[in-house]
Structure 1
Amino acid sequence: MNGTAACVDPDREELISLIYEASVHPDGWQPFLNAFHRSLSAYFSAIMFRHRPHGSLTLMVRRGDDGEDGIPSRIYADIAGSGPIDYETMESGQIYTLRDFSAHGEIATAPVFTEHLKVADKGHLELVAVGPADGFRAQFLWVRDDATGPLDAGERAWLKSLLPHLERGMAIFARKILLQVSSGICTEALEQLAFGAAALDKDGRILVCNRVADELIDQSEDLRRVNGRLIFRRKDHAQTIREFATNLDIARTEAVFRLRNGEETIGVLARPIAPRAADNAMTTARVIVYLHALTGHAQPSPVLLSKLFGLTPSEAMLAILLSEGATLREAAQQMGITENSARTYSKRIFLKAGVRRQADLVRVILRSVAMFGNG
């Protein structure tokens, strides 16, 4: 030990427990930092989360032994940002001192030393990085006073014994954060395009439901909620969803139908989800349901579809009706043509749009609306 005994009896098991708690509960990093700070007898400690190449930065800091959390942002910015620390070149798991980033003798003139550390008799800044330089990583930084000194051999060995746990904890934390970001982007994209999405379990219980789906479910005359379950009022719709949820060998992979929504119509695309063997069948999502209000402004015009896919006016009109969930018979009746003629038109539509099924046509047309508007 150097000077005043530091890390006399660190509760290593507590720190390890806090690491794994923080890996699944982001608020847990502050309790870990507090315990880490005390164990190191540090004057100042910080955790910096960085995600390359996106450049995001989150800070958690602690100062002093009196329980005071946080330091003025200006002072921290000076400590973290005024060289010579090169965060990008740090190797994961290696403990660095300020001198490692300076040529011999230059440390005495570095602003971080002369303006902050030396004047406060806190001359020992050390840090360690955990995680890949080109991905999600954390840097743990601490400052100790001159009386305590830098980490000695025993303290370094103690810290290195924590590093495998920090690496595993950070890997879990990074996956969780990146999944949240990815999920948030997908949810926002669906909502920007006014698409609802709901995941149902084998009993029709709603496991996940975004804001748009919530609104459309409440508005539709053909849907209702009962004890957390999504109920389709029409028997054929309910049967389709039930088959998707309970029959893993079902040949059909998608279904398209329409629901009433006052004067509007809600288009529905339902798809079964095969559960993984490791999942619990009681909680695994079995069906995902996409909903979209087929309002006039959300529908592509026949002119747009004609330009995009080279459809004739009659083919374009039939494509729109099919994308709304109409059957060939229903579409033929609305257009005043025979069902055989509608079937002939549909084959041409599928060929020109490069699809084989009505569900694929729905996706192509909805994508055209999202990209080009209603024409």
Structure 2
Amino acid sequence: MQIQTEQLRQLLNTIDQLYAAACDPEKWPVFLSAAAQLFESQGTQIGHHDLTNHSLSFSRLHGYEWDEAHYQKYDKLMPQDPRLPFFAQNPFKPIHCRMNITDNELHETEVYKEVLEPGGVEYSIGVNLTEESRSMSYFLALRNKSQNRFGSSECDLLQELIPHLNRAIFLQRDISSIDFERNIAADTLDGMAVGLCVVDQSGGLKFSNRTAQDLQSDDDGLSVANGRLIATGQSGSALRAAIRNVISQARTGTSVGGIPLQIDRPSGRDPLAVLVASLFGDHLKSGWAGMRDPLAILIIRDPRQPVESRHELLSRMYSLTPSQARLANLLVNGISLRDAAQQAGLTEASARQYLKLIFGKMGVTRQS
């Protein structure tokens, strides 16, 4: 896809705000607003849908003033929504509403007459980020009757955003439950192609995933000294200021997006793209190992690295869990099941059970 300069700038800003929202639920409105501008839509929505019980367990909507009664009406009529089957059957694929249904087919439904039309929704484009057949996380951009319908160009644009949406869902889920003492979510976070560092106000390093540890070991822009994360040159003062800023905002309850900055590298390679955001809001209530004060999280993207790691790609394409994706990746590289189990921290018996699940999800019958 060819992306124009201004559109690329909007896309990168939207990605930054997405990661900030994954770290602090209060910042979802900032991301949704940026996404609405990106897709030139009246509104955007992100949420979680329980396919078994046909109910919404989480939903954030931007651009529309729907009251509780309107949400409840849609919740009741959701099983009749003709768009949902196509989203459910095509995970991780951009779908716009007129790809599979006509205007008349949509307009004749009760969900359109009772919810969509009164609510100002005529066109939609979105993606299903489901992990399993029983639930679906999703993102939608919405337009009204006065706007043009979505097409292939918007699908191409959404395709660029999908790996980051998927990663943000994992990130929000695991950050909300992580225990630094036991590294409950380390398996998922280590499999990500972005670096993740959690620091306190003075830069004291609380947590780094594997990608971030590799970047720190390179000592090319970022490193760790005396337990503190530091950046070289002028980037160091900018990083310290950003960390202090987001933590100060968190203390006062200010809801803002993350602070983007670049970390220059002495080697002359392209700078690291860093987003500094606060860990606040619901995370303090859930408890980050008894955290009494807000922390800052750094999301680090290295231009040299692919958008997705092998773990993330396998998880996204085949709905594998992080542990299953890690085991599959080791086996694809030619390692024996016994050695792969050892590297993955599993018993050989557990690895064989994982393998059966992997076979089922990937549609294969032999390890080779």
Superposed pair shares fold, TM > 0.5: no
- Larger RCO (CA under 8 A, 6+ residues apart): 2
Asked which structure has the greater CA Rg, the reply is 1
TM-score bucket of the superposed structures, by smaller chain: 0.3 to 0.5
When normalised by structure 2's length, the TM-score is 0.39
